[in-house]
Structure 1
Amino acid sequence: MSPAPAHISDLGAYVSASPSSFHAVAEAGRRLAAAGFRRLEEQDAWEGGAGSYFVLRDGALIAWTVPTTAGPTTGFHILGAHTDSPSFKLKPKPTTGKYGWLQAGVEVYGGPLLNSWLDRELALAGRLTLHDGTEHLVATGPLLRFPQLAIHLDRAVNDGLALDKQRHMNPVWGLGDPADADLLGLLAARAEVDPRDVGGFDVVVADTQEPRVFGAGDEFFASGRLDNLSSVHAGLTAIIEAAGRPLADGPIAVLAAFDHEEVGSGSRSGASGPFLEDMLLRISLGLGAGAEERLRALASSFCVSADAGHAVHPNYAERHDPANLPVLNGGPLLKINANQRYTTDAPGAAFWAALCRDSGVPYQEFVSNNVMPCGSTIGPLTATRLGIRTVDVGTPLLSMHSARELCGVADPGHLATATTAFFRGGR
């Protein structure tokens, strides 16, 4: 099997195991532990020094590998990504319904394409926290559906579908009287805990359709949560490979997979929070760094912010910049914005170009059409918080923020190849 199909197959397995950000970091942690990485707890004292480690904080993960010759001023090569995707989150009183239907009370999370979630078999997935503080992951399998109104009852639907987030986006999950039903109890049963012990929950809606390769030449890959598990998976496979073939004098390789990027990153596990800064500080302290040595280490560090970007859409080409039209399987995107919604600058662009050239990876430039508002990433947040030179890149997609997104089969593997070289000190 060539590298692209092998990588895509494993990406599909990773996405299927990761219906929520909590599942994504649990699966990443499982893979890291199997590869010899040691899990550390933030409340414990750390010895530091050479080796490979990871830490989980809610739905976020930071993993790193320290070469044997690392010292107080050794720099970091960081890949930043995020584990969350636009979806719907259960409200505090989730069991609702009327007219003989059982429905789930959900709140819109981020900016999903609402229509893409209609008429799909959906799951609930996330974590339950018990009164004693213990956490339990839960995933239901097919349970819910947002049923669309039949065209016979809305003859103008094909002239413009308008969905009210409060009235129309309440999925059905059964039949009966809501007074006699308990959706949280169902989740507790699936997690094998007593519902009376559940003190809180973070549970989202997830698509249950399996990832799929398709197209005339098997060139396409469709899956949920490619934004941004395609980047998390690339970083995960790259850091495992880099740790397995370490360079004695290389940088400290770091994978930072944050939560809550789709809602602004302002949380203890988001890129605007202190998680990455805390971990870099503790790594440097473990290598004997003082204040000056730590600043020297940061000054010689580099961050690649990896998040999905837009391929040109054949039916809406006028929405793209006419001179920059990225295609699927043309390589990862170098994302550029004059207003610093992406943090790429000239030195960062040159760094990425050299890295891709030396690792045999094609890449494409992306810039928005001037009349289309530009999204953003964790890149500007990381650069602002830490002062580390940062470049924004990512896998080109169609159907971004859909329940089921589309990429080329080669691009995620190309991103992983470039990231592996980056983690091993390449540029």
Structure 2
Amino acid sequence: MEHEVAWKRYDTSDLEALERLAADYIDFISENKTERECAAAAVAQAEACGYRNLAEAVREGRALKAGDKVWALSHGKALVLAHLGARPLAEGMNILGAHIDSPRLDLKQNPLYEANDFAFLDTHYYGGIKSYQWVTLPLALHGVIAKKDGTVVDVRVGEDAGDPVFCVTDLLIHLAGKQMAKKANEVVEGEDLDILMGNRPLVVEGDDAKDAEKEPVKAFALKLLVEKYGIDEEDFLSAEIEVVPAGRARELGFDRSMVIGYGQDDRVCAYTSLAAQLALGDEVPDKTAVCVLVDKEEIGSVGATGMASQFFENAVAEIMELAGEGGPLPLRRALAASSMLSSDVSAGFDPAYASVFEAKNSAYLGRGLVFNKYTGSRGKSGSNDASAEYVARIRRIMDDAGVAFQTAELGRVDAGGGGTIAYIPAKYGMDVIDSGVAVLSMHSPWEVSSKADIYEARKGYEAFLRNA
């Protein structure tokens, strides 16, 4: 069974809407490269659409009713948006869930050092990466530095045209005989992914010259950090600085049909989920519509901001309390009666690596929203396996809304595999299925998606919120 290329369906109005969405998407992923940035941007967009802070409603004891819209934020990195529907919450919600973290390099707590007249920043990689892909790329620093006095300094260097960038160095081919003979996972080891950030020494003149720094290049770098951010070296102990590819996402191909950019796993699904949630406007949906954007999926959905935390459940409990449906049993009923699309990217079929795919059960760029009945690895290990009845319901919703969609697995059996957040909300007994956008070069510094799939995902997510 082969699904038609979505591009063949489009008239002029579709193409115009597709290009507007793609342009907004490119802006979003170019400007928001960390989970903090994505969460803050999502809150700003939500508030512009009438969403209010749930924490304020709780403090004020303000009752919630059908049509009300609230947001809840956890540690600046995970977000729940809820648009209350006409039906009681205990009858279930329609939930979109995606993650806003992406593979990257993180600065260690004690990162700065000097070696042979260079200053470096030591890193620890985050998520699944191929280390060799991160050398000689222009890199940017994004994040925050929390100081002991309680102030938090935002850091963003490497994105503006006048900014410097950073890089991980590589060995010249002329001396790389031994390196080239290594396995791919040993060519560049994780401990060697250090960021080159300076070569100029601090020059001390006059009477103070005898007290010149033993590490003058590191000293000059610290001097610049003090001047720009008012921080000292110890402030790195309480910093969260992420190292990401510098530069904007771009249109790809002569036909401009694709997008290449950093962090599309999973911000392509997070962005389209957010856009679908906000598209409900001031209407009162039948069931409460929820969009959950979480952190830490790339390392197992752990921690206070991952899907495995109690943040989502606690937010729903607070909403139900203010809606007059509080209590542990109504909460359990609401969660069990809910339906969810676990929105995460799928591996796009790549003819250059066809041997690891099974063609008739693969996702193809340009053929629309992808549904994965199950993910996992080998014997479906670690997977949520959606029921046949739920898959049939999803098919009906997508067909009725004219959404182009396809089904897929993550590669050939025993070729590898992977997981999503789907199994975590499924523990409540709710229906959950993985859905998302096909991506080429997943987990690389620059990933590729199709504008058509972004457009169909946005349509499909809205159809789900309205009709599930």
Q: Which moved more, 1:336-345 or 1:415-424?
A: 336-345
Alpha-carbon distance, 1:245 to partner: 4.5
**Residue matched to 1:171:** 195
Confirm or deny: 8 A CA contact 1:379 1:392 kept in the other structure.
Answer: yes
Residues 188 and 309 (structure 1), Cα distance of their counterparts in 2 relative to 1, 3 Å cut? farther
Residues 158 and 315 (structure 1), Cα distance of their counterparts in 2 relative to 1, 3 Å cut? farther
**Residue matched to 2:432:** 390
Residues 115 and 36 (structure 1), Cα distance of their counterparts in 2 relative to 1, 3 Å cut? same
Residues 93 and 34 (structure 1), Cα distance of their counterparts in 2 relative to 1, 3 Å cut? same
Residues 40 and 196 (structure 1), Cα distance of their counterparts in 2 relative to 1, 3 Å cut? farther
TM-score by length of 2: 0.84
Alpha-carbon distance, 1:97 to partner: 3.1
SS of residue paired to 1:361: coil
- Structure 1 residues 303-340: Cα deviation after superposition (integer angstroms, max 9, x where no partner): 11001110111111110124313210111211124445
- Structure 1 residues 20-39: Cα deviation after superposition (integer angstroms, max 9, x where no partner): 11111111111111222112
Higher percent of residues as helix: 2
Structure 1 residues 61-210: aligned runs within 5 Å: 61-67=79-85, 69-141=86-158, 142-155=164-177, 161=184, 162-176=186-200, 179-180=215-216, 181=218, 190=228, 192-195=229-232, 198=235, 200-210=238-248
Paired AA for residue 392 in structure 2: A
TM-score by length of 1: 0.91
Alpha-carbon distance, 1:189 to partner: 5.5
Taking the aligned partners of 1:392 and 1:187, their CA distance within structure 2 comes to 44
- Structure 1 residues 265-294: Cα deviation after superposition (integer angstroms, max 9, x where no partner): 110110111111111111111111233333
- Structure 1 residues 28-52: Cα deviation after superposition (integer angstroms, max 9, x where no partner): 1111112221123388455241311
Confirm or deny: 8 A CA contact 1:22 1:137 kept in the other structure.
Answer: no
**Residue matched to 1:265:** 301
Paired AA for residue 308 in structure 2: S
Taking the aligned partners of 1:284 and 1:116, their CA distance within structure 2 comes to 47
Paired AA for residue 276 in structure 1: F
Alpha-carbon distance, 1:361 to partner: 1.2
Structure 1 residues 14-29: aligned runs within 5 Å: 14-29=28-43
**Residue matched to 2:414:** 371
Residues 184 and 220 (structure 1), Cα distance of their counterparts in 2 relative to 1, 3 Å cut? farther
Residues 79 and 155 (structure 1), Cα distance of their counterparts in 2 relative to 1, 3 Å cut? same
**Residue matched to 1:404:** 446
SS of residue paired to 2:238: strand
Paired AA for residue 40 in structure 1: L
Residues 197 and 52 (structure 1), Cα distance of their counterparts in 2 relative to 1, 3 Å cut? farther
Taking the aligned partners of 2:239 and 2:129, their CA distance within structure 1 comes to 21
Alpha-carbon distance, 1:299 to partner: 2.9
Identity value in percent: 24
Alpha-carbon distance, 1:134 to partner: 4.3
SS of residue paired to 1:81: strand
Residues 345 and 189 (structure 1), Cα distance of their counterparts in 2 relative to 1, 3 Å cut? farther
Alpha-carbon distance, 1:399 to partner: 0.5
Q: 1:3 aligns with which of 9, 17, 20?
A: 17
Taking the aligned partners of 1:300 and 1:80, their CA distance within structure 2 comes to 16
Q: Which moved more, 1:364-373 or 1:342-351?
A: 342-351
Q: 1:231 aligns with which of 253, 259, 269?
A: 269
Taking the aligned partners of 2:119 and 2:359, their CA distance within structure 1 comes to 49
Confirm or deny: 8 A CA contact 1:17 1:27 kept in the other structure.
Answer: no
Q: Which moved more, 1:73-82 or 1:268-277?
A: 73-82
**Residue matched to 1:252:** 288
Taking the aligned partners of 1:328 and 1:351, their CA distance within structure 2 comes to 24
SS of residue paired to 1:316: helix
**Residue matched to 2:456:** 414
SS of residue paired to 1:105: strand
Alpha-carbon distance, 1:365 to partner: 1.2
Taking the aligned partners of 1:135 and 1:128, their CA distance within structure 2 comes to 6
Residues 167 and 201 (structure 1), Cα distance of their counterparts in 2 relative to 1, 3 Å cut? closer
Paired AA for residue 363 in structure 1: F
Paired AA for residue 121 in structure 1: P
Q: Which moved more, 1:78-87 or 1:42-51?
A: 42-51
**Residue matched to 1:307:** 344
Taking the aligned partners of 2:156 and 2:111, their CA distance within structure 1 comes to 16
* 2:306 equivalent to 1:291: no
Taking the aligned partners of 2:430 and 2:224, their CA distance within structure 1 comes to 46
Q: Which moved more, 1:126-135 or 1:100-109?
A: 126-135
Structure 1 residues 302-381: aligned runs within 5 Å: 302-335=339-372, 336-337=374-375, 338-367=380-409, 368-381=411-424
SS of residue paired to 2:279: helix
Residues 189 and 71 (structure 1), Cα distance of their counterparts in 2 relative to 1, 3 Å cut? farther
Structure 1 unpaired stretches of 5+: none
**Residue matched to 2:7:** none
Taking the aligned partners of 1:315 and 1:131, their CA distance within structure 2 comes to 52
* 2:76 equivalent to 1:56: no
Taking the aligned partners of 2:119 and 2:370, their CA distance within structure 1 comes to 44
Paired AA for residue 433 in structure 2: V
Structure 2 unpaired stretches of 5+: 1-14, 159-163, 202-213
Taking the aligned partners of 2:180 and 2:250, their CA distance within structure 1 comes to 28
Residues 420 and 314 (structure 1), Cα distance of their counterparts in 2 relative to 1, 3 Å cut? same
Alpha-carbon distance, 1:342 to partner: 4.0
Q: How many residues align?
A: 421
Confirm or deny: 8 A CA contact 1:131 1:197 kept in the other structure.
Answer: no
Confirm or deny: 8 A CA contact 1:138 1:187 kept in the other structure.
Answer: no
Residues 188 and 381 (structure 1), Cα distance of their counterparts in 2 relative to 1, 3 Å cut? farther
Residues 28 and 189 (structure 1), Cα distance of their counterparts in 2 relative to 1, 3 Å cut? farther
Paired AA for residue 288 in structure 1: G
Residues 196 and 374 (structure 1), Cα distance of their counterparts in 2 relative to 1, 3 Å cut? closer
- Structure 1 residues 241-270: Cα deviation after superposition (integer angstroms, max 9, x where no partner): 11x14135x111111111011111110110
Alpha-carbon distance, 1:113 to partner: 2.4
Taking the aligned partners of 1:26 and 1:207, their CA distance within structure 2 comes to 20
Root mean square deviation of aligned Cα? 2.4
